[in-house]
Amino acid sequence: MIVVLAGGVGAARFLEGLVQVVHPETITAIVNTGDDMMFHGLHVSPDVDIVTYTLAGIVDESQGWGVRDDTIATLEMLATLGAETWFRLGDRDMAFHIRRTELLRAGWTLSQVADSFRRALGVGVRLLPMSNEPVATEINTPVGWLHFQQYLVQRRAQDAVLGVRFVGIEAARPSPGVLEALQAAEYIVIAPSNPVVSVGTILAVPGIRDAIMAARAPVVAVSPIVAGAPIKGPAAPLMRAMGIEVSARGVAHCYRGLVDALVIDRADATLAEDIRDLGITAIVADTIMRGPVEKRRLATEVLAAAKTTLRQRS
C-alpha cells in the first residue's frame, strides 16, 4: 500500500501518474483541508475536489482546478444579487459543494463525503481528508490575518507574508484511517505540494508527524521547487516568510528528519550533495509533469526510489 500526502494541483497530477503504474486501490491519499472555506453558505474543499476531479478525469486541466467545460451561470446570478464572486465556482463544481454541505448538515463527516464522491465518480484511490475537524490556513499580512483563499485568490498573493497559522489545529484529529494507513504503508510519498501550507498543514495535525516518524515505510518526498521557483502556486513568499530558502535544498531543510529521500529535478542536480549532507538521499529526476508520459515517468522514478531507499530518518 502506498500513502501519499497531498495538497492540490501538484499532488493531483502526481497521483494521475501513480495510478498508471500501480493499482489505484492500493493508494491512499491524505489530503489537505486547511484551504477549505465557506462560499455562499456552501462548504468548499478545494484540495479534496482537485484530487477527486483530476483522478475522475473531469478536471479543467488548464487551470488545474474546477470541472472541465463548466459554466458560471449560477455565479453570474449570484453577482447580480450582490454576492462576492471572487472565488470562481462553476455550475457543475457547485453541485459538489451543495451536496457536501447538505450531507455535512445531515451529520456526515468530511471523510464520508469525500469517500462517497470519489466512489460516485469511479475513483479507485482512497481519499482521506487529513481531519474531519475544521482547520483554516491563515496568512498574516500587513492588512491582517487572511484566510488562505483570500490571500491567494481574492488578493492574488500580493501582500507581504508575515506569518502562517493553522486555526483549529490543536483540536484537530487525524480522520479515521489516516494513522492506520501510515502504520501499514509500504511506502509513504510526500507529493510535490507546498511544504509550508498543504503538506505543512497535514503534518501539523496532532499525531500525523509522529505516525510518519514511527512508520516502517521509507518516506520519499518530491520537491515542488524547480530551479529556485515553485512549479505552481505561492510557495515562494510563504517559504521565504518562514525563513526557508526557495530551492530544493530549502525543501530538504523543511523535511529534515522526516523523509529518507527527496526527488529533485535535473535542473537542481548541483544541490544533491548539500541535500545528502542533511542525511537525505537525493534522487535526480525529471519532475515537471507536462503530460501523461511525464506523470507516469515521475511516478515510476519515485517508486523505484522508495524501493531502494533505506530508512534513515531519525
- State the Cα torsion 295-212-245-261 to the nearest 10°: -60
Residue among 93, 265, 268, 301 that touches ligand FO1 (CB under 6 A) = 93
**159 CB-near residues (< 8 Å, 6+ apart):** 139, 141, 142, 143, 146, 151
Q: Is 87 in the site for ligand FO1 (CB under 6 A)?
A: yes
Q: How far is the CB of 308 from ligand FO1 (least distance, A)?
A: 31
195: burial class by Cβ within 10 Å (0-12, 13-18, 19+)? buried
> Comparing C-alpha atoms, which of 281, 284, 287, 273 is closest to residue 256?
281
Question: Taking CB under 6 A as the rule, does residue 149 contact ligand FO1?
Answer: yes
Smallest distance from the beta carbon of 63 to ligand FO1, in angstroms? 7
The residue sitting closest to ligand FO1, measured at its beta carbon, is 8
Q: Which residue in 4, 18, 33, 47 binds ligand FO1 (CB under 6 A)?
A: 47
Does 307 bind ligand FO1 (CB under 6 A)? Our answer is: no
Alpha carbon distance 82, 225 (integer Å): 40
Task: Based on the shown chain and the rule CB under 6 A, indicate whether residue 138 belongs to the binding site for ligand FO1.
Answer: no
Smallest distance, ligand FO1 to C-beta of residue 32, A:
7
The answer to whether 218 contacts ligand FO1 (rule: CB under 6 A) is no
Does 153 bind ligand FO1 (CB under 6 A)? Our answer is: yes
Q: Contacts with ligand FO1: how many residues (CB under 6 A)?
A: 17
Distance of closest approach, residue 43 Cβ to ligand FO1, in angstroms: 11
CA dihedral of 107, 108, 109, 115, whole degrees rounded to 10: 180
Smallest gap, in angstroms, from Cβ of residue 93 to ligand FO1?
Answer: 6
3-state secondary structure 71-113: CCHHHHHHHHCCCCCCCCCCHHHHHHHHHHHHHHHCCCCHHHH
Site membership for ligand FO1, residue 50 (CB under 6 A): yes
Q: Per CB under 6 A, does 10 bind ligand FO1?
A: no
66 binds ligand FO1 (CB under 6 A): yes
Burial of 297 (0-12, 13-18, 19+ CB in 10 A): middle
Binding site residues, ligand FO1, CB under 6 A? 7-8, 35, 44, 46-47, 49-50, 65-66, 87-89, 93, 149, 152-153
